[in-house]
Amino acid sequence: VATDSVRVVAAPEGTELAGWAALRGRAGPVAWEGGVRLDRYSITDEERWSPRLMARWDPATGTSVKVSWGRYVQSQGIHELDAPDGQASLASTESAEQVAVGLEHRTPGGWAFRLEGYRRDIEDPLAEFVNLSREINPIPEVEGDRTRIQGTEARARGIEAMVALEGTGPVAWSAAYALASAENRIDGVWRPRTLDQRHTVNLFGSVRLSGAWQLSGTWQYHTGWPFTEQFLDVVVTEGLDGTEEVDVVRRGFGPLNEGRLPAYHRLDVRITRRFQMARSLLEVYLDVFNAYNRTNLRGWEWRLRDNGDGTFGAQRDPGEEQLPVMPTLGVRWVF
Q: What is the pLDDT of residues 261-307, one digit of tens each?
A: 889 999 999 999 999 888 899 999 999 988 988 888 877 777 777 77
Cα distance between residue 243 and residue 262, in whole Å? 40
Residue type, 206: S
How far apart are alpha carbons 207 and 213 in whole angstroms?
Answer: 9
> CB-based contacts of 188: which residues, under 8 Å, 6+ apart?
none
The model carries a pTM of 0.82
Name, in order, each residue with C-beta under 8 angstroms of 228's C-beta and a sequence gap of 6 or more: 132, 133, 253, 254, 255, 256, 257, 258, 259
Amino acid 89: pLDDT: 81
Q: Is it the case that residue 114 has pLDDT exceeding 70?
A: yes
* Identity of the amino acid at 140: P
Of 152, 150, 155, 82, the C-alpha closest to 124 is 152
In tens, the pLDDT along 48-97 reads: 999 999 999 999 999 999 999 999 998 887 778 787 887 878 888 889 99
Say what the pLDDT of residue 139 is: 82
Q: How far apart are CA 107 and CA 290, in angstroms?
A: 34
Q: Tell me what the mean pLDDT of segment 15-42 comes to.
A: 93
pLDDT of residue 229: 86
Say how far apart CA 20 and CA 102 lie, in whole Å: 24
* Residue 291 DSSP class: T
State the pairing for strand pair 259-260/199-208.
unpaired
- Other Cβ atoms closer than 10 A to 193: 22
Contact partners, residue 177, CB within 8 Å, separation at least 6: 160, 161, 162, 199, 200, 201
Amino acid at 178: A
Q: In this prediction, what percent of the chain has a pLDDT beyond 90?
A: 50
Position with higher pLDDT, 42 vs 246: 42
Question: Cα separation of 215 and 259, whole Å?
Answer: 39
pLDDT band at 9 (very low <50, low <70, confident <90, very high): low
d(CA 140, CA 191): 22
